Amino acid sequence: MSRTLDALHEKLDKLNKQIEELHRCVREYHVLREDSGLIFNVTKNLVITGTAETYWQGNKRAQFLQEFSKSQSLMSSFVETIGTQIFQINMSIRYLEDKKSDLINQIEAEI
């Protein structure tokens, strides 16, 4: 093989590794989002049940639930951010797939 062809194959191998690593990241982000959403909902239900009027009286309950609501809002933002990350990584994968296609065309032209 020519040095140009060797270099193109090396680029293709690196590109394939990058794409596979990004696919792995997306899979892990999906798991993180699912787990986070589950934990978020279970915690919310348990805390609200656990802070029923019979357990916490008056201002203490209201103050606690207000603070809890703030943390739940942050958690909700976290879960949304994970979704944004998944979208952005998928866009990167599409871009790299296009580059891979261009590289394959270059290799075929060299052969």
For 53-106, the pLDDT digits (tens) are: 666 676 777 788 888 888 889 988 999 999 999 999 999 999 999 999 999 999
Is pTM beyond 0.95 here?
no
The pLDDT-based confidence of 1 (bands split at 50, 70, 90) is low
User: What kind and span of H or E run contains 75?
Assistant: helix 58-110
Pairwise CA distance, residues 70 & 82, whole Å: 19
Helix/strand/coil percentages in the chain, nearest 5: 90, 0, 10
Closest CA to 51 of 42, 40, 62, 41: 62
For 21-47, the pLDDT digits (tens) are: 999 999 999 999 999 989 988 888 888
Please answer whether residues 86 and 27 qualify as being in contact, where contact means their C-beta atoms are separated by less than 8 angstroms: no
